[in-house]
Amino acid sequence: QKQQHEKQQQQPSNKTFCPKKSKQLVGTIQTYLDPVNISTVESKYPEVRKGGNFRPKECTARERLAVIIPCRNRTQHLHILLNNLLRLLIKQRLDFTIFVIDQDLPTTFNRGMLFNVGYLEALKRGSYDCFIFHDVDMIPTNDKCLYRCTHNPRHFLSGVSKWKYRLPYKSYFGGVVSFTRDQYRKINGDSNLYFGWGGEDDDLRARILHKGYSLLRYPQSIGRYDTISHQRDSGNKANPARFKLVKSAKARQDLEGLNTARYTVTSSVTRRLYTKIQVYINMTE
């Protein structure tokens, strides 16, 4: 499997690097938040290859990007996100693959563990340099919001429509975040212990700062996102243990995370616009 991905990924040597900021970028872009059929989205992006893989033809991309999207019971949102996001990624002339990580029911949702799974499984399939962890309901509204990695982890959101284009609190680190392969490994990824809603994003932030990184965030005009409104999901109740867990984030950092993620891949499918990895997470392990 990896060989096949690698073959697709071999870079031609006689091309110049793609520009850091493509000339095609205009700033504010229209968002499309209405439900859409996947076949409509597929026909819009014939240049995306099976598995959700794209590479510019005229230049060599500066890095290989894996976009990791946790998604359970949110297929409609996934189609809306792809309908918006693919256009932006292609315009930015990025070499990318879309990975959708789904968690088997009926276990309680664990967003942090799904990020670890996404990172580990993507690296089994290709040599990715940059990882963007992307909630399925966050839609970028500015194409100058570059989906790239930098010397420090980045929070992409500066304002979200559901919070009147503000953030719920200053240190919020949820929604869309980026890490280089090394950065995510050095912080030992996400915690695996947060089952249910809340806390894992604060834990991730604590891990980043504890390892000496600073946090970057796009300015107001660039990091503006629209959200798709939705009800609270079943199987993702607020986690009452979250406050206690966040307090011990630094002490646990090296003991649990990427190095202890235990899960079973129950299926892996290459769809036209994404690679879908289904996992079972045993809550008692």
Query: Where do contacts with ligand UD2 occur on this chain (CB under 6 A)?
Result: 70-74, 109, 111, 135-137, 168, 172, 174, 197-201, 233, 235-236
Query: Which of 9, 107 has the CB closer to ligand UD2?
Result: 107
* Coil, helix or strand at residue 114: helix
- Cα distances (Å, whole numbers) of residue 210 to 116, 154, 175, 182, 252: 19, 15, 21, 15, 11
Query: Which of 18, 204 has the CB closer to ligand UD2?
Result: 204
Query: Which of 199, 223 has the CB closer to ligand UD2?
Result: 199
Cα–Cα dist 54/45, whole Å: 10
Residue 248 is inside which H or E element, if any? none
Query: Which of 73, 221 has the CB closer to ligand UD2?
Result: 73
Residue 219 tokens, joined: 């300015």
Least spacing, CB of residue 168 vs ligand UD2, in Å: 4
Least spacing, CB of residue 23 vs ligand UD2, in Å: 32
Least spacing, CB of residue 17 vs ligand UD2, in Å: 32
Least spacing, CB of residue 278 vs ligand UD2, in Å: 13
CB 274 within 8 A of CB 125: no
Query: Which of 172, 213 has the CB closer to ligand UD2?
Result: 172
Least spacing, CB of residue 197 vs ligand UD2, in Å: 4
Residue given tokens 């607020």 in the structure block = 238
Residue 10 is inside which H or E element, if any? none
